[in-house]
A and B are shown apart, each in its own frame.
Chain A
């Protein structure tokens, strides 16, 4: 194997490795939700609790992760800090406008909650979603 081929193979492996390391955050909904894809504004409205109902009138139940890179990537995508969202959620809770999202410790539990709750939405690392589950991916966000 000549040197050029070796370098080429090394670079190919490097690109593949970096690609697999770059996890993707997926926004998931319960299969009862009447939406196949979602844009940034809609996600922002849902996580600021300004949108409380799906198009068919059913109530939206929002799940959030307690911590981690998936959470950081999602918050960065909707361009909100944790502090700002906490402040918005507390105001809406204290004025009776909405209930704050339920915070879940790990992604497996969040997927389980979304799959079992009609009208639910959450976000997880895409590779953690089991192939057979009652959730649908409606948006994708790349983690850095």
Chain B
């Protein structure tokens, strides 16, 4: 009996001291959650089909889903340090059913030497255009379906890392006040793109491309490049944050052996391209608000400098743009339209255009109802011999601040 009481007292003491420690540490837990219902109608026309098969394909599906949940942990340490972690669950995540995915999107320590200069060390979303930093903060966006290269539901069509630096590991940054604006700057470095680090082989098992010395740990950069990812952004931001514009640039190498790439290029006449292609990604962004009108736009151009491609006359460049304009009818109701497009080449030029219209209604500080209608069109995809594909989505969703 005495032992039981002692254990209970010790347990209560531990609980109390842990609670006190947590309070004194001031660790904050918050997050965002987006619940959706969608209807998708697809129509595809094929140029090459076996005799007797229908050259057209029509599909329709509807579903409910937990689109995404992000849990953030934040802790201020003393006057100058801040630790931050972003844990992300996607698409009804269940390890039991092998649904969706769970990942650490960010985990970093920030040191602020002053308000004008600080640096982050750890896994982080680097500064590139406007949306990259908040692409998975769905409660901040009016969209359910984000612009194509940011939208993970389209990850088969757009490999984000082809357009964006998805992660960096060290970033120096700050905002210097200059009259009515801040001059923002950021420079960062990190690993080569994620597909170097792990991608499936023909049996679906993850493999590293280059360096077998790193087999004992996973997720590290296996490349032999000393100069991996380097990038930065400079821009201006109005003091009241109602306007922002900037230019971003990265330099890295693209792993063209990546079997997860789309369109795939590791077979046939494009086989000589299997290697490491030097590339630059150039981005421009502008966003702001004038009275009830809100706008944002981004453009990205990806340039390749790769001898193997030049020798066989293949243009590898990519481009993407989007523009959104909307109107706040009340403090709670925002209605918008957007247009986006771009082209990918890799020896098989295909272009895409997307038109969307949507609304976001803020029910209270923590709940926003969203609706969005999307028409996505894709032309001339030679790898699948698709002449034209049209996909229409209707999304309804609730976005929650946790």
Contacts and interface: CB of A to CB of B under 8 A. Distances in A.
Contacts of A83: 328, 331
Nearest to A52: B115
B137 A50 contact: no
A58 interface: yes
Given A96-B110, A99-B28, A58 B79 contact: yes
**Interface of B, helix, strand, loop or mixed by DSSP:** strand
B240 A94 contact: no
Given A93-B30, A94-B139, A50 B79 contact: no
13 contacts: A50-B182, A53-B114, A58-B79, A84-B240, A86-B365, A90-B139, A91-B134, A93-B74, A94-B137, A94-B139, A94-B140, A95-B133, A96-B82
Interface string A85-107: 01110110111100100000000
B277 interface: no
Interface residues of A, number: 27
Interface residues of B, number: 33
B401 A90 contact: yes
A53 B74 contact: no
B94 interface: no
Interface string B77-103: 001101010000000000000000000
B84 A44 contact: no
A41 B114 CA distance: 18
Interface in B43-99: 72, 74, 76, 79-80, 82, 84
B309 to A, nearest CB: 37
Contacts of A45: 177, 239
B134 A94 contact: yes
Contact of A95 (B76, B134, B177): B134
B378 interface: no
Nearest 5 interchain pairs by C-beta: A96-B84, A94-B137, A83-B331, A59-B79, A88-B241
